[in-house]
Amino acid sequence: MNLARHIEQYLPSPLLELMLHINAEAAERGETLYLVGGIVRDLLLSLSSPGPPTGLRFDLDLVVEGDAVKLATQAATTGRPRLLAHHRFGTAKLKYETFTLDLATARKETYERPGALPRVTPGTLKDDLIRRDFSINAMAMSLATQDYGELIDPHKGKTDLEQGLIRVLHAASFSDDPTRILRAVRYEQRLGFVLEAETAQLLEQSIPMLDAISGDRIRHELEMILREDRPELAINRLGELGALSRIGHILTGDDWLAASFDRARRLKRPAQLPAIYLCLMVYPYHEDEVEQVLTRLSTPAKLSRAIRDTLRLKGRLHLLDRPALKPSEVYDLLQEYDLTAIQASVAASDSPEVRRHLQLFLTKLRHITTLLDGEDLKRLGIPAGPHMGQILQTLRRARLDGEVSTRADEERLASELTQYRSPSAKQEGQGR
């Protein structure tokens, strides 16, 4: 099958030109370049589905039988991309303004023990395809002059695509790299495919091997799932398979989680959906249990803070379940919490009143500041120090509650607040 005409329709023309430019450089070096992985899969999928292509990607994976780093360095002299090279792995990334091209030296991988990182040596395209996860991801398109556009499909990926099957390339695939368990389920649920019978069996047998995988690698694959359009599908499926509880004993997929993910997607401006989803996955549980999951996933500090804040805030949400709260009271309650935690709480709470208050904080209250700042207060004769901080806070509360609206209002209130201070406190402030 030749895909030359299709790829030209599928790729935006600037990206196609970049690919052809790199291809010309490769030819000059006497090396052969191939388009590989997800792009080939998605292109074939788009041919079999009616209507315009969906899920278009603008990042290309290219494999060269040659030296990817040297090729990328040579290609980078045109168009001024940012070049990130990994000499050790023989890979390079070319980052253009709107596109990224990943170039890899065709390689052969051998696994010394389950879950270990593979030993990598240079190889042919054939070696490079057999090291891949599933048949549908193990196809390439040749960019060589003599067979430009030809589909290279040694593992019958196209047939599996047509039959809707996720199939590993060999029986040791999941034990070589158990993160493929998460990948299999991600593609299965994204594409509405099923696991081919033997693959399903191998996957289930390999679940205990997830224990051998580092926290970073598991978290990375979990985050890839959480970037899907409807991650709850893969999360539920991993739950059914027993893979989720193998990663963290409290983790599970259920109707509540699916509904809260759906509410998260409808948030106005979600900070980071994957982070919000993770907060929701541990929401129902106790802090000690959640700490175990954070450790297992080697969770970075920022994400850990969002998760811990979500649990802390959960214990205080009832305080927002009152209709008569003043805006300043809502602000005082929420201002110390991580934004992701507040957004996760909107998706988690089933009280409309609590959600209304959280939304009020997110959309309005957190942006409200006083018109006067410290410099203005100094000009009014208020010395810098804790007292000034208190005045600014009182001004902010008054503003939140609509008690002041102009600079003049704020100046008046600031002077009043200073007058109420005891003479000794004033002297103390003047000493600063």
Binding residues for ligand ATP (CB under 6 A): 37-38, 61, 132-133, 137, 177, 179-180, 183
Cβ 180 to ligand ATP shortest distance, Å: 5
Please identify, using beta-carbon distances, which residue of 18 and 40 lies nearer to ligand ATP.
40
Beta bridge partners of 101: 60, 94
Please identify, using beta-carbon distances, which residue of 40 and 311 lies nearer to ligand ATP.
40
Please identify, using beta-carbon distances, which residue of 139 and 251 lies nearer to ligand ATP.
139
Number of Cβ within 10 Å of residue 75's Cβ equals 22
Cβ 257 to ligand ATP shortest distance, Å: 22
Cα–Cα distances in angstroms (integers) from residue 68 to residues 105, 118, 122, 274, in the given order:
5, 19, 11, 32
C-beta separation of 90 from 122 below 8 A? yes
Length of the chain as a residue count: 432
Which among 155, 142, 152 is positioned nearest to 64, based on CA atoms? Answer: 142
Cβ 213 to ligand ATP shortest distance, Å: 10
Taking CB atoms, the residue at the shortest distance from ligand ATP is 38
Please identify, using beta-carbon distances, which residue of 179 and 343 lies nearer to ligand ATP.
179
Give how far the C-alpha of residue 309 lies from the chain's centroid of Cα atoms, to the nearest Å: 19
Please identify, using beta-carbon distances, which residue of 58 and 285 lies nearer to ligand ATP.
58
Cβ 190 to ligand ATP shortest distance, Å: 8
Please identify, using beta-carbon distances, which residue of 127 and 321 lies nearer to ligand ATP.
127
Cβ 131 to ligand ATP shortest distance, Å: 6
**E strands, 87-189, in order:** 91-95, 100-105, 107-110, 119-122, 140-142, 151-152, 165-166
Cβ 68 to ligand ATP shortest distance, Å: 14
Q: Are strands 91-95 and 119-122 parallel, antiparallel or unpaired?
A: unpaired
Position 40, amino acid: V
Cβ 176 to ligand ATP shortest distance, Å: 8
Cβ 21 to ligand ATP shortest distance, Å: 21
Furthest C-alpha separation in the chain:
92
C-beta separation of 348 from 379 below 8 A? no
Cβ 133 to ligand ATP shortest distance, Å: 4
Q: What contacts 119, CB < 8 A, 6 or more positions away? A: 109, 110, 111, 112
Conformational region of residue 22, where left means phi above 0, alpha means psi within -120 to 50, and beta covers everything else: alpha
Please identify, using beta-carbon distances, which residue of 113 and 367 lies nearer to ligand ATP.
113
Q: What contacts 374, CB < 8 A, 6 or more positions away? A: 384, 388, 392
- Cα 408–413–419 angle (5° rounding)? 125
